[in-house]
Structure formats: structure tokens, C-alpha cells
Amino acid sequence: MASFAYSQGTIIVNNYSKFDFYGFLMATNSTSGCYPRVGNDGVIVVPAESHMGNGLELVYKDYMGQFSSSLYPTANWVVTLNPTSSSIMAWNNVNLSPGGTIATTTKWYATKFDMMDAGTTNSSTENFRANMNIANACGTGINNYFVTSSGNNSAEMFTISGITYLQLY
């Protein structure tokens, strides 16, 4: 069934902030335990003010298809199958195909990011950086909202109907 083929769900990143998002998006076992775990290898950059309102949001429907369909493609994924074994897989590695075991047993759950002044690699003086996650089978608890100490910026992560959203303000 098609729904199984995309059980990892879609992830959408809406960056409404004036900073560039430099970060990682991670998926983990959707039912129990922490493996497999999948995250992008090279940092993903979603420029300031890139969101659904202007069609510049990041959309990853699956590990493989995102390379051709997303505005911000990930070429390589770090795949961790157990605590002692981790490997880098290219986006078109057959093991990452939508119907494969890795895709069908994982679900987006976490991010870590550092927001940079737009167009630079200088961390924002707002210290707008965080590790965040939604409820997950790995049992890390829920940490789905972050606000900077100044209160000027915030981020939220949540799931609606199989789509996981990370929104930065």
C-alpha cells in the first residue's frame, strides 16, 4: 500500500524567521526503540523567510524522492541500524527506497539547528539554536517548543495527519 511506502511521513520546514536555518532532521523507529535512526549527513540550509506562504518551504516526502523534488536536497543520509553500526547512504541507495525497511519503520522526530545571520555562517546573536523533538518511540520525552532568551525568536515542532512540521519564527 502506498501509505506504507511513506510511513516515515512527510516533513515540512517553514522558516519564517530572518535567519538562515542550518540544521539536521532526524527520523527514528516509528514503533519501538531507537533504531533504525536516519539523519542528513551534510547540513541542510533553509534560507530566512522560506515557508509555505511563498512556496520556499522545505518538503521531504521520503529519503530518496526528496533529492529530486525538494528545494533543499539532501545527498547523503547517516543511517544507524544499532548502537554500534552507522553508515552513510546516498539518497539513491536502494536501502532507502520508499518501500524498504528503513523507510517503512522510521518516522521524523527530531531536529538540531543553529540559526545564522542571513547569507552568512555567523551564528545569530540571539543564540537561536536548539535540539528539539516530538513524542517518539525512542523515549526521549517531548521537547517541541523553543524560545530564545530574548523572546524574539521561537521554534515549534508538531505532527498533523502524518505530516511533521518544524516552524521557525
Partner 1 sequence: MIVNNYSTTYDFQGNISAHNFAGGCYPYVTSSTPAAITVPANSHTGNGQELAYKNFRDQFTGSLYPTTNWTVQLSPTTSQVRAWNHVSIAPGGVIASNVKWASSQFQMYFAGTSTPEPSFSGLIGESPDPCTGATGYISTPYGDAEWFNITTGNVDYSYLQIY
* Residue of 41, 114, 126, 156 interacting with partner 1 (CB under 8 A): 156
How many angstroms separate the CA atoms of 35 and 101, rounded?
11
Cell match 525512542: residue? 138
By CB under 8 A, is residue 21 in contact with partner 1?
A: no
By CB under 8 A, is residue 153 in contact with partner 1?
A: no
Binding span for partner 1 by CB under 8 A among 8-16, 26-34, 85-93, 105-113: 8-16
By CB under 8 A, is residue 135 in contact with partner 1?
A: yes
By CB under 8 A, is residue 164 in contact with partner 1?
A: no
Q: Which is nearer to partner 1, 25 or 157 (CB)?
A: 157
The C-alpha angle with vertex 32 and arms to 129 and 35, in degrees rounded to 5, equals: 60
Site for partner 1 in 46-105 (CB under 8 A): 52-53
Q: Which is nearer to partner 1, 52 or 78 (CB)?
A: 52
Q: Which residues bind partner 1 (CB under 8 A)?
A: 12, 14, 16, 52-53, 134-135, 142, 144-145, 147, 154, 156-161, 165, 167, 169
